[in-house]
Amino acid sequence: MADETNGGAAATENQPAGMQIQVLGQHIKDLSFENPNVGKIQIKEGESPAVALEVNVEAQRLGPDVFESAITFTATASHSGGTIYVLELNYGGAFRLQNVPPQAMEPFLLVNCPTLLFPFLRRIVADVTREGGYPPLWLDPVDFGALYMRRQQEMAKTAEKQ
């Protein structure tokens, strides 16, 4: 092994580095489980409560290359007798993003990052509902890309009206 060279280094020397993404951490920002009518509401066998779900995503800059992406999730289970439970969870992650083109930054923070976080949020929701005395609430996957596009369309319509 006489002469070893790093052929790849010379080839990429004049090219911009690719996007670099690092997950710095994940965290529960806020968690609330309200069980207001425990023992008061009787659900008959075969009946299912109505469960209303709400999902929102937000992002903010924490430092020069560090951003936080967070999912705000609310589940409200109700029955004819009233509210069974309300679960509110704000789950976030810190990400170091380098060499991400400016036009790709917002979609990345509001689509890709929440997609990485969602399986962990899903597990927390299932665990909390189970520990609250109910069957685990297993969430279906969320299409954060479609959510982002819908929000963009809503913002465009609002801008047109003004």
Architecture of domain 17-161: Roll (3.10)
- Rounded to whole angstroms, the Cα distance separating 101 from 16 reads 11
Condensed to tens digits (0 to 9), the pLDDT of residues 5-53 reads 444 444 444 445 688 999 999 999 999 999 988 877 777 777 788 999 9
Q: Kindly report the CA angle at 54 between 50 and 58, in degrees rounded to 5?
A: 170
Looking at this protein, which amino acid is placed at residue 146? A
Report the percent of the chain where pLDDT is more than 70: 90
Residue 14, classed as helix, strand or coil, is coil
Condensed to tens digits (0 to 9), the pLDDT of residues 58-81 reads 999 999 999 999 999 999 999 887
Domain boundaries defined on the chain: 17-161
What confidence score (pLDDT) does residue 17 get? 67
What confidence score (pLDDT) does residue 22 get? 95
Task: Say how many Å lie between the first and final Cα of the chain, rounded.
Answer: 71
- Rounded to whole angstroms, the Cα distance separating 47 from 58 reads 35
Residue 113, classed as helix, strand or coil, is helix
